Chain A
Amino acid sequence: MATNASIARAVAPRRGVGRSLLLTLPIALWSMLMFSQGFMRASRATKMASLLTIVFMVALFFQMMRTSETYRWRRWFFVALGFLFPVGFIYNLVAARGTMGIPIEEMIAGRTPFCFIPIPMIILPAAFTRSIIFPSSILGNNGNTAGIAVMVGLWFALSLVMGKGWCSYACFFGGIEEGFAAIPKRATVKKINPRWRYGPWAVLLAIVLLSFAFFEPTYCMWLCPFKAVTEYVAARNLVGVIQNIIFIALFLGLVVILPLLTKRRTQCAFFCPFGAFQSLFNKISIFDVKINRELCNDCLVCRNVCPTMAVNAESLAKGETHMACMRCGACVDQCPKDAAVWHIKGTPIAVKPERARLMYIYGAWALAIMFGGSILAQSTATILHFFM
Chain B
Amino acid sequence: MKIPTAAFGYTLGGVTLAVAVLTPFLLIGLFANGFASLGLHVDEVYSGGPIVRTVNAQGYTVAIHRTVVPHLLQRGETFVQLDWKPVGALPPHMNELVDIDGDGQPDVRVSFDVPKNPKEHLHADIDALNARYRTVHGIGRDAFTSMIVRADDAILVRVPLAKGAR
Within 32-52 of B, Cβ neighbours of A (below 8 Å) are at: 32-36, 38-48
Q: In the assembled complex, how far is the CB of residue A72 from the closest CB belonging to chain B, in whole angstroms?
A: 23
Q: Are A104 and B9 in contact (CB under 8 A)?
A: no
Q: Are B42 and A135 in contact (CB under 8 A)?
A: yes
Segment with Cβ contacts to A, from B20-28, B55-63, B96-104, B108-116: B20-28
Check: B71 CB closer than 8 A to any chain A CB.
Answer: yes
Q: Are B27 and A131 in contact (CB under 8 A)?
A: no
Q: Are B71 and A215 in contact (CB under 8 A)?
A: yes
A148 to B41, CA, bound (A): 10
Give A107's nearest chain B residue, CB to CB: B46
A161 to B13, CA, bound (A): 9
Check: A300 CB closer than 8 A to any chain B CB.
Answer: no
A214 to B75, CA, bound (A): 7
With a cutoff of 8 Å between Cβ atoms, the chain A residues found around residue B6 in the complex are 346-348, 351
With a cutoff of 8 Å between Cβ atoms, the chain B residues found around residue A152 in the complex are 31-32, 35
Q: Are A363 and B17 in contact (CB under 8 A)?
A: yes
Give B36's nearest chain A residue, CB to CB: A149
With a cutoff of 8 Å between Cβ atoms, the chain B residues found around residue A135 in the complex are 42-43, 46
Q: Are A370 and B23 in contact (CB under 8 A)?
A: yes
Give A126's nearest chain B residue, CB to CB: B40
Q: In the assembled complex, how far is the CB of residue B160 from the closest CB belonging to chain A, in whole angstroms?
A: 16
With a cutoff of 8 Å between Cβ atoms, the chain A residues found around residue B10 in the complex are 344, 347, 359
Other-chain contact of A286, B13, B147, B156 (Cβ < 8 Å): B13
Check: B86 CB closer than 8 A to any chain A CB.
Answer: no
With a cutoff of 8 Å between Cβ atoms, the chain B residues found around residue A158 in the complex are 23
Q: Are A345 and B46 in contact (CB under 8 A)?
A: no
Give B23's nearest chain A residue, CB to CB: A157
A27 to B43, CA, bound (A): 42
Q: In the assembled complex, how far is the CB of residue B51 from the closest CB belonging to chain A, in whole angstroms?
A: 14
Check: B142 CB closer than 8 A to any chain A CB.
Answer: yes
A362 to B18, CA, bound (A): 10
With a cutoff of 8 Å between Cβ atoms, the chain B residues found around residue A363 in the complex are 16-17, 19-20
A214 to B70, CA, bound (A): 9
Q: Are B41 and A131 in contact (CB under 8 A)?
A: yes
Q: In the assembled complex, how far is the CB of residue B142 from the closest CB belonging to chain A, in whole angstroms?
A: 6
A215 to B31, CA, bound (A): 25
* Given A215-B45, A344-B9, A356-B13, A104-B149 contact (CB < 8 Å): yes
Point out which of B75, B141, B150 has the most chain A C-beta atoms below 10 A from its C-beta. B141
With a cutoff of 8 Å between Cβ atoms, the chain A residues found around residue B165 in the complex are none
* Given A215-B74, A346-B5, A367-B28 contact (CB < 8 Å): no
What string of 1s and 0s marks CB contacts (under 8 Å) between B103-143 and chain A?
00000000000000000000000000000000000000110
A347 to B13, CA, bound (A): 11
Check: A287 CB closer than 8 A to any chain B CB.
Answer: yes
Check: B88 CB closer than 8 A to any chain A CB.
Answer: no
A360 to B17, CA, bound (A): 8
Check: B29 CB closer than 8 A to any chain A CB.
Answer: yes
A64 to B9, CA, bound (A): 24
Q: Are B36 and A138 in contact (CB under 8 A)?
A: yes
Give B48's nearest chain A residue, CB to CB: A108
Q: In the assembled complex, how far is the CB of residue A363 from the closest CB belonging to chain B, in whole angstroms?
A: 4
A366 to B151, CA, bound (A): 40
What string of 1s and 0s marks CB contacts (under 8 Å) between A346-388 and chain B?
1110010000100110111011001000000000000000000
Q: Are B41 and A216 in contact (CB under 8 A)?
A: no
* Given A161-B16, A215-B74, A346-B8 contact (CB < 8 Å): yes
Q: List 20 A-B contacts (CB under 8 A).
A: A103-B141, A103-B149, A104-B141, A108-B48, A109-B152, A129-B71, A131-B40, A131-B41, A135-B42, A153-B27, A153-B32, A157-B19, A161-B23, A214-B73, A215-B73, A286-B13, A286-B15, A345-B12, A362-B17, A367-B23
Residues of chain B touching chain A, judged by Cβ–Cβ distance below 8 Å, are 5-6, 8-10, 12-17, 19-21, 23-24, 27-36, 38-48, 70-75, 141-142, 144, 147, 149-152, 156
- 8 closest A-B pairs by beta carbon, nearest first, are A346-B9, A153-B32, A153-B31, A363-B20, A346-B5, A135-B46, A215-B74, A131-B43
